[in-house]
Amino acid sequence: MADRVKFKDLSPEEQQDHRDRMRHSAAHVLAEAVTKIFPDAQLTIGPPIEDGFYYDFANTEPFTPDDLMKIELEMRDSIRANTEFVERETSRDEALDIVIDNPYKVEILEGIPADERVTFCSHSEGAFEDLCRGGHMTRTGDIKAYKLLSAAGAYWRGDEENAMLQRIYGTAWESRDAQKTYLKKIEEAEKRDHRKLGRALDLFFFDPIAPASPFFMPKGTVVLNSLITYVKELYEKYDYDEVMTPQIFNTDLWEKSGHLQAYSENMFFIDVDERQFGVKPMNCPAHAMMYQSNSRSYRELPLRWADFGRLHRNERSGVTAGLTRVRSLVQDDAHIFCTFEQIGQEISSFLKMLNEAYAAFGFDNYRFELSLRPDKRVGSDEMWDKAEVVLTELLDSSGMEYTAEAGEGAFYGPKIDVFIPDALGRDWQCGTVQLDFSLPERFDLEYAAEDGSRQRPVVVHRAMYGSLERFLGVLIEHLSGVFPLWLAPVQAVVVPIADRHNDFCHEVGVKFKAAGIRIKVDDSNDRMNAKIRQAQLQKIPYMLVVGDREVEAGTLAVRTRTGENLDPMSVDEAVAKFLEQIADKS
């Protein structure tokens, strides 16, 4: 009890540190338990992670759920024994001798300078020891709540060229209550899973006949089209033009763009009449052709071309997931062809538009990542220097928080990615803005400058939603399927109490429809209670109930999906109210 009070009194940083140390300590106890049951298992790494920890073991068979139970029991004994964590220092070379039979530990040590001291940490009276950076609790008994969650294969250092290790995930908390809260939170988040809601709300489904390719039902299509309509409004404001381009192209194009060399594993190819075609995974080469189809002047720049063309990417079978990673997708894609000097202005205005859009959906938990030059790249160092400075200054002056990742940029240019978390906190890349120094070279794009010289434009790839499918997926989870009025597939349902009210209800429906409101009349012979329940389950924003009183007075009894009953209003009043709310996107 004293501990719990103490934990509450810690600063957020101290709390985080406490949890990290406890989770890392739990990883040690886990490792001990595994080596007891599976003596051949080799230790590798076991860091604390958000909400828990994991440990990777080499030289062992995959763990079964049964194994996990046994391991958890073994851990319990170790924690009950409440032994001390003891750290000892050695020289790196001494440590190498100790772990010589474990190639993973050897590799870790080889990454540490020879003159540095390293630490080992033991517990259980020295019966278990592990090479370890440090950061533990005082005693094993300080691990107040823990639970093993799952086992999975994981490559050493995340590289599939390396051996596959067996990983065990667990969670650990400062108290049983905290752990309970966490597990409850996960359970709640699973209810928001967009795949479940997509089925329940009749938005989309999947079928093995087209793996990882969603079929959007009418209701899902309404939402997607609303997303597109909205972005087209923004394009009007931010001065973009829309274009349309072919779906499949002769392989020559992909050779020229470089996709054949760099991206063909992710492309679908079709042979027709002994010629090979590639289905487009991206729009940029087509847009480059459009640019090239005319001689260009600096007066035309920047050109902003948006394309809602359908793309196909042959994602590896193990990585597809619901709507968040699909093989058939549409992006709110656009390419900006501009001068090098215009880059700053273009990206700044794009980020402004993106923030405006995300605010409209109520996202407030997205993050930015700036990816800087990789080792393998095209373009001069001078170009990279300038471009990176422009992006960095933009982000700094915007006040938006971001992380800079050295070496993570594309070979063709630096980029800023925007990530949005799903219900379970997994990040998905949605928005992106990428500079491209390569495409203009490959397609030999030029414009006539003011002085008559021929100059190379820069291409900016950019999207706010990214894939509309993915964006819809995270949006559904963000909203728990409760779409605001402007996005709701069905905005209102008219509920006649008895058959004799049906005619009036249909008249009401016609009036709302004429005003452009998506409305349905529920004239099934269910009872009113059942109709309301149905509308609630479908998360329909408004229920317009009509009985004798309403027909008599020519009004509507308006119920919201939050269960609130508004004052009776006329059809005209209700229409006006809805239209206003739709326009406000509130």
| Active site positions, annotated | 284, 313, 331, 333, 335, 415, 461
**For residues 298 and 324, is the Cβ–Cβ distance under 8 A?**
no
**CA angle in degrees (0–180, nearest 5) for 28-34-40:** 120
Question: In the bound complex, what is the minimum distance in angstroms from residue 130's beta carbon to RNA?
Answer: 6
Please tell me the count of residues contacting RNA according to CB under 7 A.
Answer: 76
Single out the segment in contact with RNA by CB under 7 A; choices: 150-158, 248-256, 345-353, 356-364: 150-158
Residues contacting 279, CB < 8 A, separation 6+: 247, 248, 267, 268, 269, 270, 312
Question: In the bound complex, what is the minimum distance in angstroms from residue 231's beta carbon to RNA?
Answer: 26
Tokens of 312: 């196909």
Alpha-carbon distance of 110 to 131, in angstroms, equals 13
Does the CA dihedral 245-266-199-358 come out positive or negative?
A: negative
Tokens of 319: 């990585």
**For residues 224 and 216, is the Cβ–Cβ distance under 8 A?**
yes
* Closest to RNA by CB, 516 or 554: 554
User: Within positions 15 to 44, which residues make up the interface with RNA, using CB under 7 A?
Assistant: 24
Residues contacting 520, CB < 8 A, separation 6+: 490, 492, 493, 494, 509
User: Within positions 120 to 149, which residues make up the interface with RNA, using CB under 7 A?
Assistant: 130-133
Does the CA dihedral 289-464-318-27 come out positive or negative?
A: positive
Residues 410-439, one symbol each (x = binds RNA by CB under 7 A, - = not), give: --------------x-x-------------
DSSP 14-77: HHHHHHHHHHHHHHHHHHHHHHHH-TTPEE----EETTEEEEEEESSPPPPHHHHHHHHHHHHH
User: Within positions 506 to 545, which residues make up the interface with RNA, using CB under 7 A?
Assistant: 525-530, 532-533, 536-537, 543, 545
Residue 195 within binding range of RNA, rule CB under 7 A: yes
User: Within positions 306 to 345, which residues make up the interface with RNA, using CB under 7 A?
Assistant: 316-322
Alpha-carbon distance of 474 to 489, in angstroms, equals 17
* Closest to RNA by CB, 398 or 480: 480
Question: In the bound complex, what is the minimum distance in angstroms from residue 150's beta carbon to RNA?
Answer: 5
Single out the segment in contact with RNA by CB under 7 A; choices: 71-79, 111-119, 246-254, 360-368: 111-119
Binding residue (CB under 7 A) for RNA from 548, 572, 580, 584: 548
Residues contacting 401, CB < 8 A, separation 6+: 367, 368
Binding residue (CB under 7 A) for RNA from 343, 557, 571, 582: 557
Alpha-carbon distance of 524 to 507, in angstroms, equals 16
**For residues 435 and 372, is the Cβ–Cβ distance under 8 A?**
no
Residue 6 vs residues 9, 175, 185: alpha-carbon distances, Å: 5, 12, 24
Q: Report residue 427: phi and psi, to 5°.
A: -80, 140
* Closest to RNA by CB, 306 or 546: 546
Residues contacting 465, CB < 8 A, separation 6+: 227, 231, 331, 332, 357, 430, 431, 471
Single out the segment in contact with RNA by CB under 7 A; choices: 180-188, 224-232, 453-461, 493-501: 493-501
* Closest to RNA by CB, 239 or 499: 499
* Closest to RNA by CB, 5 or 319: 319
* Closest to RNA by CB, 452 or 563: 563
Binding residue (CB under 7 A) for RNA from 106, 155, 235, 392: 155
Residue 511 vs residues 136, 578, 582: alpha-carbon distances, Å: 68, 13, 16
Beta bridge partners of 370: 404, 416
* Closest to RNA by CB, 56 or 332: 56
- H/E run at residue 559: strand 555-560
Residue 378 vs residues 339, 375, 413, 438, 586: alpha-carbon distances, Å: 18, 10, 8, 6, 46
Binding residue (CB under 7 A) for RNA from 4, 15, 18, 47: 47
Residues contacting 324, CB < 8 A, separation 6+: 194, 422, 428, 469, 470, 473, 474
Question: In the bound complex, what is the minimum distance in angstroms from residue 512's beta carbon to RNA?
Answer: 17
Q: How many of the other CB atoms lie within 10 Å of CB of 514? A: 9
Q: How many of the other CB atoms lie within 10 Å of CB of 580? A: 11
Question: In the bound complex, what is the minimum distance in angstroms from residue 321's beta carbon to RNA?
Answer: 4
* Closest to RNA by CB, 440 or 496: 496
**CA angle in degrees (0–180, nearest 5) for 405-407-413:** 100
Within 334-446, residue ranges assigned H as helices are 343-360, 381-398, 439-442
Single out the segment in contact with RNA by CB under 7 A; choices: 107-115, 256-264, 295-303, 356-364: 107-115
Binding residue (CB under 7 A) for RNA from 186, 547, 579, 585: 547
Residues contacting 407, CB < 8 A, separation 6+: 372, 373, 374, 375
Binding residue (CB under 7 A) for RNA from 13, 115, 160, 274: 160
Binding residue (CB under 7 A) for RNA from 97, 271, 563, 567: 563
Residue 191 within binding range of RNA, rule CB under 7 A: no
Residue 119 within binding range of RNA, rule CB under 7 A: yes
Residue 192 within binding range of RNA, rule CB under 7 A: no
Question: In the bound complex, what is the minimum distance in angstroms from residue 427's beta carbon to RNA?
Answer: 9
Question: In the bound complex, what is the minimum distance in angstroms from residue 47's beta carbon to RNA?
Answer: 4
Question: In the bound complex, what is the minimum distance in angstroms from residue 504's beta carbon to RNA?
Answer: 11
Question: In the bound complex, what is the minimum distance in angstroms from residue 144's beta carbon to RNA?
Answer: 20
* Closest to RNA by CB, 379 or 541: 541
Question: In the bound complex, what is the minimum distance in angstroms from residue 104's beta carbon to RNA?
Answer: 9
Residue 469 within binding range of RNA, rule CB under 7 A: no
- Shortest CA distance to 120 belongs to which of 97, 144, 154, 145? 97
User: Within positions 200 to 229, which residues make up the interface with RNA, using CB under 7 A?
Assistant: 206, 208, 211-212
Binding residue (CB under 7 A) for RNA from 29, 46, 174, 428: 46
Question: In the bound complex, what is the minimum distance in angstroms from residue 93's beta carbon to RNA?
Answer: 12
Binding residue (CB under 7 A) for RNA from 173, 415, 559, 575: 559
* Closest to RNA by CB, 249 or 578: 578
* Closest to RNA by CB, 175 or 213: 213
